[in-house]
Amino acid sequence: MGPGSRTDGGYQRPTKRARTGGRGRGKGKARGRGKARAGQPRDFVPEVVKIDKASALRLKGKQITGTDAMGGGYRMARASHGTDTGCWYYEVHIDKDKVAAQDAAYRVGFAHKKADLQGPCGMDRYSFGYRNIEGSLVHASHRVDQANEPYKAGDIIGCLINFQSDELEDIESDHPADDSAFPKDPKKPQGNYVRYFRNGRDQGVAFENIPPGAYRAAASVFRTGTFRLNFGPRFKCWPMPPGLAARLPEAERTAKPVCELVPPLDTQRAVHAIAQARAQELLRIEQARAEAEEKKAAEVKAQKDALKNARRNARRGATSGN
């Protein structure tokens, strides 16, 4: 797979093209108090991890509901911020379906921003999915059935991604090599990997050697199912009880919630204060420049008027002399 772009999220790494601060910059624009006229400093609006979704999905808070308005196929929702470094965790709550419990199907996992929203996680080389039916694992439309436990309405699926490879993404190629695979030895995953949990029960490593790239939390639904994305910081099934957590690698035990892909609020405020001070200084400079130009224009006009008056008086004097 090897997605060809860095993060819209995560923490900036100068040696990589990891955009962080646009660290997963979301698409939403500031509204209301965040608006400002051109040249005016903007009010502070906290940056948060939001949800990007296919148009056929309905969004209420962080609850996603599928609809068959577009033909009933899979549709995807994913986080607005991604990352290419560290270890990260989030949860998907599969809601009890009120409309079509027998009809719904789900795939949850991680997806690059190049992954198609009009399909399920695992449909293309840019996403990795865990399917509720038969507990299948899916990547690039290659499916391995009964790899994990199947899940159903009411279950909570924990999704973890760990970047332990220092390999750089080939940002020049649109089709970098994809060496990802289903793990041969789940206890010793190779490279970057994804692990799933069902109701707090470890399902093992699902995918290993995931190509470098900025991945986002993602979940997809078929027809009229409903799910909720929980990016943290408080989870239902994480952290695991000490006895179970001890079996996990240290990096996983200290995994960060996806909501922390944006800078801490204090940092955001500090950055905003600097930007606001800079905007005010630029505004002051612009106002001073405008005033100087206005003063200069007035001086030029006064000189022209004085010259015109002098010529007029000279003509009058010449006429009187005659």
- In a shared domain, residues 109 and 138: yes
- In a shared domain, residues 316 and 255: no
184: β partners: none
- In a shared domain, residues 134 and 68: yes
- In a shared domain, residues 148 and 275: no
Number of independent structural domains in the chain: 2
Q: In CATH, what number is assigned to the domain containing residue 168?
A: 2.60.120.920
- In a shared domain, residues 174 and 311: no
Question: Considering the domain boundaries, does residue 252 fall inside one?
Answer: yes
Percent of the chain having pLDDT more than 70?
71
- In a shared domain, residues 201 and 274: no
- In a shared domain, residues 258 and 269: no
- In a shared domain, residues 237 and 290: no
Per residue in 102-147, pLDDT (tens digit) is 678 899 999 999 999 999 999 999 999 999 999 999 999 999 998 8
- In a shared domain, residues 163 and 292: no
Domain end residue (candidates: 227, 242, 262) = 262
Question: Considering the domain boundaries, does residue 11 fall inside one?
Answer: no
Residue-level pLDDT at 225: 82
Question: Considering the domain boundaries, does residue 47 fall inside one?
Answer: yes
Question: Considering the domain boundaries, does residue 116 fall inside one?
Answer: yes
- In a shared domain, residues 69 and 176: yes
* pLDDT level of residue 182 (50, 70, 90 thresholds): low
Residue-level pLDDT at 283: 87
Low-confidence winner among 137-146, 159-168, 214-223, 283-292 (lowest mean pLDDT):
159-168
- In a shared domain, residues 166 and 43: yes
- In a shared domain, residues 44 and 87: yes
Sole residue written with tokens 């949850």: 108
Question: Considering the domain boundaries, does residue 16 fall inside one?
Answer: no
Domain end residue (candidates: 215, 245, 262) = 262
Q: Side-chain half-sphere of 40: how many Cα atoms within 13 Å?
A: 9
Residue 173 reports pLDDT greater than 60: no
- More confidently predicted of 191 and 256: 256
* pLDDT level of residue 163 (50, 70, 90 thresholds): very high
Question: Considering the domain boundaries, does residue 27 fall inside one?
Answer: no
- Pull the structure tokens for residue 91: 């949860």
Residue-level pLDDT at 183: 66
- More confidently predicted of 185 and 153: 153
Question: Considering the domain boundaries, does residue 236 fall inside one?
Answer: yes
pTM beyond cutoff 0.85? no
Residue-level pLDDT at 54: 85
Residue-level pLDDT at 46: 61
Domain end residue (candidates: 243, 262, 281) = 262
Q: Is the peptide bond before 186 cis (omega within 30 degrees of 0)?
A: no
Stretch 226-238: mean pLDDT = 91
* pLDDT level of residue 43 (50, 70, 90 thresholds): confident
Residue 172 reports pLDDT greater than 60: no
Question: Considering the domain boundaries, does residue 230 fall inside one?
Answer: yes
Residue-level pLDDT at 97: 59
Mean pLDDT of the chain: 79
Per residue in 284-316, pLDDT (tens digit) is 899 999 999 999 999 999 899 888 888 888 887
Residue 35 reports pLDDT greater than 90: no
Per residue in 60-89, pLDDT (tens digit) is 776 677 655 555 688 999 999 999 999 999
Q: Which amino acid is at 101?
A: A
- Pull the structure tokens for residue 205: 């490593």
Q: Which domain holds residue 275?
A: 264-322
